[in-house]
Amino acid sequence: MSGDLGPRVVISAAENFISLHPDVELALVGDQQLLGPLVAQSNILRNSARIIHAPDVVTMEDDPLSALRQKKKSSMWVALEYLQPGQADACVSAGNTGALLAIAKYLIKTFPGIDRPAICKSMPVANGLTYLLDLGANINCTSAHLAQFALMGSVLAEVMGISAPRVALLNVGRESQKGTPVLQESHHLLSSDPRIEYVGFVEAGDIFTGKDHVIVCDGFHGNIALKASEGVARFIAKKISSTLQRNRFNKILSFLVAPLLKQLRDDLDPALYNGASFLGLQKIVIKSHGDANQKAFMQALLIAREQVMLKLPERISEKIIPA
């Protein structure tokens, strides 16, 4: 209910999702009066999805602590509460990130040995994907927090099919003596952890080389790195478009390279990488972009299903607390 584009985007994504995966039981949480007519109009959802009524909404402007204390009848709270007794395996939301994190941590809890959840997202790189965390959940982190993030990111990469994923710490240089005291201590912790294939520091300029499968940082720097990379991608796309329209010769050239540009746009379409995981929680919670369109929200649903099928929380728990 609290995404920028409202429930119609979610309904449309849910239709396509159920068409591909009719084995999934889908619950739509929100205002019955708004959702009921939308679901009734859908031949697919009418018989395959149910509505859980929640009269209130967490807005993008709501303070996370206020939402935690005062929005217990919101769609966000009710959806996350539904995970708590095991009635659902995963929750997907395009709502307020801070509120989603605060309520999820309160209701669902983290695993023993994990102090804080971390927001993790895959990013397209030169060869495959790189997982970057934390992306904004934890502005200030200790070395222990970064070590926990590294372990969880490594498990996620393994679950997604990367054998012995290489884990790096984001720093201002690759040299071992560089960085803050927290980074230096984190470096020593990870260097001695046999559960992780730690390869040392990585600079921001090397994130997209694909040499490192998991890149770890605090939420402040991770969010800046993510937003900066998204901004650069938009800038390059606009620059290419304006350059190809500059004169007649360029317009002719644009016609010739149109298939290549379309392929590039398709490969780098942000909608294909929508859906960030709140790693460390005992249930799967996926955060979609607030302004996600139907295609992007569909991708977040697909990620949620995939992580359920692969039993990601259980795998993280096993790594943290080996039998």
- 304-319: per-residue pLDDT in tens? 999 999 999 999 998 8
Once rounded to an integer, what is the mean pLDDT over residues 43-66? Answer: 92
Letter string b/e over residues 185-201, b meaning 16 or more CB atoms within 10 A of that residue's CB? bbbebbeeeeebbbbbb
Q: Domain check: are 61 and 84 in the same one? A: yes
Q: Domain check: are 73 and 151 in the same one? A: no
Once rounded to an integer, what is the mean pLDDT over residues 253-269? Answer: 72
Q: Domain check: are 252 and 171 in the same one? A: yes
Report the number of distinct structural domains present in the chain.
2
Q: Domain check: are 253 and 127 in the same one? A: yes
Q: Domain check: are 160 and 219 in the same one? A: yes
Q: Domain check: are 100 and 224 in the same one? A: no
Residue 39 domain boundaries: 1-114+280-323
Q: Domain check: are 152 and 57 in the same one? A: no
Backbone angles phi, psi at 118, to 5 degrees: -125, 140
Question: Per the structure block, which two tokens stand in for 192?
Answer: 């001695």
Q: Domain check: are 141 and 212 in the same one? A: yes
Q: What is the DSSP string of 58-82?
A: --TTS-HHHHHHH-TTBHHHHHHHH
Question: Per the structure block, which two tokens stand in for 33?
Answer: 């009066």
Letter string b/e over residues 259-285, b meaning 16 or more CB atoms within 10 A of that residue's CB? eeeeeeeeeeebbebbbbbbbbbbbbb
Q: Domain check: are 39 and 97 in the same one? A: yes
Q: Domain check: are 28 and 83 in the same one? A: yes
Average pLDDT over all residues of the chain = 90
- DSSP 8-state class, residue 111: P
Q: Distance (Å, rounded) from C-alpha 62 to C-alpha 196?
A: 38
Q: Domain check: are 239 and 125 in the same one? A: yes
- Tell whether the model's pLDDT for residue 99 goes beyond 90: yes
- Tell whether the model's pLDDT for residue 271 goes beyond 80: no
Q: Distance (Å, rounded) from C-alpha 313 to C-alpha 304?
A: 12
pTM attached to this predicted model: 0.89
Using pLDDT thresholds of 50, 70 and 90, give the confidence band for residue 59.
Answer: very high
Q: E-assigned strands of the chain?
A: 26-30, 49-53, 90-93, 118-124, 129-133, 166-170, 197-202, 214-216, 276-279, 284-287
- 161-171: per-residue pLDDT in tens? 899 999 999 99
Question: Per the structure block, which two tokens stand in for 149?
Answer: 């993030």
Please report the pLDDT score of residue 230 as a whole number: 81
CATH assignment of the domain containing 69: 3.40.718.10
Question: Per the structure block, which two tokens stand in for 1?
Answer: 């209910």
Q: Distance (Å, rounded) from C-alpha 55 to C-alpha 35?
A: 11
Please report the pLDDT score of residue 259 as a whole number: 78
Contact 19, 47 (CB under 8 A): no
Domain boundary, last residue among 271, 296, 313: 271
* Nearest residue to 170 (alpha-carbon basis) of 193, 192, 153: 153
- Tell whether the model's pLDDT for residue 322 goes beyond 70: no
Question: Per the structure block, which two tokens stand in for 297?
Answer: 């929200």
* Interhelix angle 312-320/143-159, nearest 10 degrees: 130
Please report the pLDDT score of residue 266 as a whole number: 67
Least confident of 23-27, 108-112, 253-257: 253-257
Q: Domain check: are 254 and 169 in the same one? A: yes
Would strands 118-124 and 276-279 be described as parallel, antiparallel, or unpaired?
A: antiparallel
